[in-house]
Amino acid sequence: MAQSIPRQDYPRPQFVRNEWLNLNGMWEFEIDNSKSGRERGLSQAPHLSGKILVPFCPESSLSGVKNTDFMDAVWYKRRFLVPGKWGADKRRIFLHIGACDYMTEVWVNGKPAGRHEGGYSPISLEITDLVMQGEENVVTICASDDLRSQNQPSGKQSYGYLSGGCMYTRTTGIWQTVWLESVPFTYIAGVQCTPCLERQSVVVEADCREADGEVLTVLAGFAGKPVGRATCRVAGKAVRLELPLKELHLWEPGSPKLYDLTLTLGDDEVKSYFGMREITWVDGKMFLNRKPVFLRLVLDQGYYPDGIYTAPSDKDLKADIERSMAMGFNGARLHQKVFEPRFLYYCDILGYLVWGEYPNWGLDISRADAWQGYLPEWLEILKRDYSHPSIIGWCPLNETQDDQNPQFVKMLVDMTHAFDRTRPVIDASGWKHVQGLTDIMDVHDYEQDSRVFRKRYDRLKKGSPVPIRLLGEGYPSFVSEFGGIWWSETDNSGWGYGSHPASREEAVERFRGLVDALLDNPQICAFCYTQLTDVEQEQNGLYTYKRIPKYDPAVISAIVSRKAAFEQNIPG
């Protein structure tokens, strides 16, 4: 089995405290397909019948369970001791779960600690009054997962017993780090940073608890030296201040300069970071720091052969970004999954541009009550990820159904804009846009004949719309899914788009023809190739599922990174 305490790195790099305890490792575990566990008293039971390695889902081999059948409910149990130094008066203890799919209920020492709905956003529960100092404590977690109800978002998790096509092995229960944290009685609950290049400052908004009238101090540093300081008194629970910076260093692809940030409120101290960059969009084109940027993106599904949703190690998160960059891409569309904060941390430090997406597949958005299974969690995700400079846009829906509720889509986009006015929003990527909602028109097009593909988009040069699927009238500037070339040297029994090339060389030439058609078109300013790696039976990756390159990275990089027509008039 894998290491006894996997994924030991601090799980929340933009909001760091020193007092924390990783609870990953071996837990007791039990599958409860009858959902009778509550009646059988599993929340108070001294033990469960099996074992699992957390944070890996029970479907994965790394978990030690490897049950790929449907599991309607699963139970976890673990014992822990509270560190002695956490016993000081007026300190709080929180239990955090990075993500648990789908409906989560928690007990500590047999007493209810809280509930959470959603498989992708973080869970934070204060358990101060439930734990015992100097004695063994027990945390019990139950996760219910009704994937086939069509009433919960599930992304690419297969609705059938087996994986098939572009649907993959399911993820049930805990799939991100579980940990404890100690904070002072007066503490900082969250922070958001908004850069302002024109004023050479950053706006810091902090959520503070039991802090009315207290003073928040914010310090900014760059390359080890102080570059800014500001203070503000808390009014109720909120602080909003502008922090002027003595030096301006821009965050850009290839040069991702980051500032350190320290927030102090009474005895509480939080370490964070931010990047100074600005995203604007005009006529379907994107600008980074007021300079046009061509987005050479790759579709990243975030699946791993042995961990499913969960990377085996921290270095595996970083390695996938480096693999993409080695083939000439400057970013990714993070597809039908909410990626964990440590992945976004590596995007930030490597200068990798990403679109944040929600895994809406599985949720029937024609239903009047669909918002209940979507909006609360989407808001939690926006709050969690707002300050990452690498995120340059939001894509809350992908390939939505014909009978979608347009009022639901409008409410979703309006809410996203209300929360974040700094990034563009694509209402529903690929198929069915609601008129007047999207900031950037995009299309999905898996045509494999590069001549047909080129001719189709040449219409844009004449101001004519591209008639694709349900798009109707519109002028796409972002081909956000294309390619998907089905190639495997050893196994042609998988799945991919179009015909299987006769050779690797033919696959590369098909890739070149499709990419050239977009790079040569001055009306196209962004593309996203499907995809970075194979996923299970889907064999259209540039790498295999085990991360072995199918093609010479240098050859692919030369094709992807050459100057585009859109960039011809851009200085430099």
Q: Would you list the DSSP string of 161-177?
A: SS-BTTBB----EE-S-
Q: How far apart are CA 507 and CA 383, in angstroms?
A: 41
- The number of CA neighbours under 13 Å toward the Cβ of 273 is 21
- Residue 106 pLDDT more than 60? yes
The mean pLDDT value of the chain amounts to 94
- Residue 110 pLDDT more than 60? yes
CB 21 within 8 A of CB 179: yes
User: Distance between the two ends of the chain, CA-based, in angstroms?
Assistant: 52
Mean pLDDT computed over 365-376: 90
What are the tokens at 246? 């003595």
DSSP codes of every residue in 415-451: HHHHH-SSS-B-SSBSS-PPTTT-SS-EEEE----HH
CB 565 within 8 A of CB 522: yes
Q: Would you give the distance in Å from CA 455 to the centre of its chain?
A: 35
Q: How far apart are CA 170 and CA 101, in angstroms?
A: 10
Domains of the chain and CATH, by start: 20-184 (2.60.120.260), 198-277 (2.60.40.10), 290-567 (3.20.20.80)
Share of the chain above pLDDT 90, in %: 84
Mean pLDDT computed over 516-544: 96
Q: What is the pLDDT of residue 284?
A: 73
Q: What is the pLDDT of residue 370?
A: 87
Q: What is the pLDDT of residue 474?
A: 55
Q: How far apart are CA 344 and CA 146, in angstroms?
A: 29
Q: What is the pLDDT of residue 475?
A: 62
Cα 304 to Cα 36, 66, 301, 368: the distances in Å are 32, 14, 9, 35
Q: How far apart are CA 321 and CA 256, in angstroms?
A: 14
Q: What is the pLDDT of residue 2?
A: 41
CB 77 within 8 A of CB 139: yes
Q: Kindly indicate the confidence band of residue 402, based on its pLDDT and cuts at 50, 70 and 90.
A: confident
Q: What is the pLDDT of residue 472?
A: 40
Closest CA to 522 of 294, 266, 235, 359: 294
CB 130 within 8 A of CB 460: no
- Which pLDDT tens digit goes with each residue over 459-491? 888 777 776 654 444 566 899 999 999 999 887
Q: What is the pLDDT of residue 467?
A: 67
- Residue 206 pLDDT more than 70? yes
Q: How far apart are CA 268 and CA 318, in angstroms?
A: 30
- Which pLDDT tens digit goes with each residue over 144-184? 999 998 889 999 999 999 999 999 999 999 999 999 999 99
**Other CB atoms within 10 Å distance of the CB of residue 452:** 10
Mean pLDDT computed over 235-263: 96
Mean pLDDT computed over 60-73: 98
- Residue 421 pLDDT more than 90? yes
Q: What is the pLDDT of residue 18?
A: 94
- Residue 326 pLDDT more than 80? yes
Strand order in the sheet with 201-209: 187-196, 201-209, 238-244
Q: What is the pLDDT of residue 471?
A: 43
- Residue 571 pLDDT more than 60? no
Q: Kindly indicate the confidence band of residue 282, based on its pLDDT and cuts at 50, 70 and 90.
A: confident
Mean pLDDT computed over 115-128: 97
Q: How far apart are CA 340 and CA 85, in angstroms?
A: 30
Q: What is the pLDDT of residue 85?
A: 84
